[in-house]
Structure 1
Amino acid sequence: MEVGIIAQLEHSPFDAMAMVVLCSYVDQRIIESEGRWKGSDKVRDIPWPEELVFTLNQNVLNDIGRAKERYSQQVSDLQLVNYAFTSFGKALTKKKGLHPDTFVQLGLQLAYYKLHGHPGCCYETAMTRRFYHGRTETMRPCTVEAVEWCKSMLDPSCSSHKRQQQMLKAFAKHNKMMKECENGKGFDRHLLGLLLIAKEEGLPVPELFTDPAFTRSGGGGNFVLSTSLVGYTNIGGATVPMIHHGYGFFYRIKDDRIVVTCTAWKSCPETDAEMLCKNLFQSLQDMIQLMATAHL
């Protein structure tokens, strides 16, 4: 039985992948030792820990009370589902010549389109760790090619051959953009830098950042789909939606399965994490079937 480790962290000091690598190492050592400690049994002579006593005034106590109340309200409003798609995984997608991560991302685009009837602006993490102090860039999977493919999948007059052609174009565009982002050729961090400089220097904020189109495209942290590949390990994760009518979507990919954790806000009548996952799993089946039946 596969057991996943879920780690919780605050992103400010470091990125999630640092924790994923650490947890993956621990997971592998536990498996190798069959869950039994095989190190030294010697107990070191160390001083007992000392309790730190905090003196808090009423203002601080009131703030803590309000924070706890707000936290409880948000937790009770969160819909979180965790499912494993076990029909196939990385092994089959790679056999078909399709990048596993791109496969899931395009499947999510199709799932969202089928559920909501329109495209969903999407954030995917692109790692820039090949650069000194490099962290992340925003990869935007909602491309023109992806949307055209989604439309073809919902068009009953469109042939399997045409759908496959559209899908492969979407794959090529996604892979190209991911490589560009990983090589420092993205634009979201650049725009963020310009915005922060304007604010820090007391300069007028460029009109771009207040343009409705910028916000609808996900700019300013307004992505409808907030996604991240946690890795090809047993380590799982989750995130809340960026916006009220959005979704948080984390996933990990194994040879024989794809495990997803999806979140939405219960108070939003438009979203449903359960239905999004159901549509996603059907989309993944449709995509692999398309590769099996369409003739180039």
Structure 2
Amino acid sequence: MTAAPSRAELSIARRTAQMSASASNRRAWLLLMPILLFLAVLLAAALVVVRMSFGVRAEDGHGFTLENYIALAEPYFMRSMWLTVRLAAESTVIAVLLAVPVALAMSRVESRIARRLLLAGVLLPLLVNLLLQGYGWLVILGPAGLLNRLLMALHITHRPLLWLYREQGVLLGLIQTAFPLAVLPLSSAFKAISRSYEEAAATLGASRLQVLRDIILPLAAPGLVSGAMLVFAYNMSAFAVPLLLGGRRVPMLALLVHDQVAPLLNWPGASASGVALMVVALAVASSSRRLARRVHGWLGVDR
């Protein structure tokens, strides 16, 4: 029989474990330092914007007043806020609905080449500059563009439809540019679902639609909600797409902030508008957990 370890040996082993844990903690903090510094810069910038939103002087934002926030109650700003929220919500719903079959195909396709091609197609909007994508939409949606030519060739319409500088044109651009943000979380969620659940349901006589509705979507609800929140937050702050496809006829909130800065040099007013935009985005982000629980219940996860 081996002798029991002495107190000295136990003490040495304990100190060694503590030193190892301390070294591991230091390495973890060193790895976290870059992202913490980045978050600190973002927080500092947000605080500067908040401080300037209470400023009096348009040049530097010094002084203190609530007039900039009172001005946000004007009808023009309220219409812009409502338009921004509505277009962001509509684009989110459509993007998520379109992302479900694409993400499901990415997670279920067996061919590695096909999977990579799908992934490349999904990631393409993130790799191409937004200005180039916007100019591409100008070519597609113009009076003599590809979309009008296709509609007239199919005899759906007899004259070109007006897509540019309308809400429907901006909506198409928002859906396309934010589409990858809906697909990627859903694809990861679908990959995490075991095939055994689907096989068991199919064995019991469930159709593919029933498997998708009662098993796959409930289990992938966290990825669905995450993708929806990303698309909504991204499109809430969209600037290039509304500017190119909507102009001043579709005045989303980011354009209003730009106009406050560029022609008017009203930094406090622009800061107040930016703070309002941040508050709405943070409110949506903070409600994501509650929304996820509701989606779970609606899809019948607890059944």
Larger strand fraction of residues: 1
- TM-score (structure 2 length as normaliser): 0.22
**What TM-score results when the alignment is normalised by the length of structure 1?**
0.23
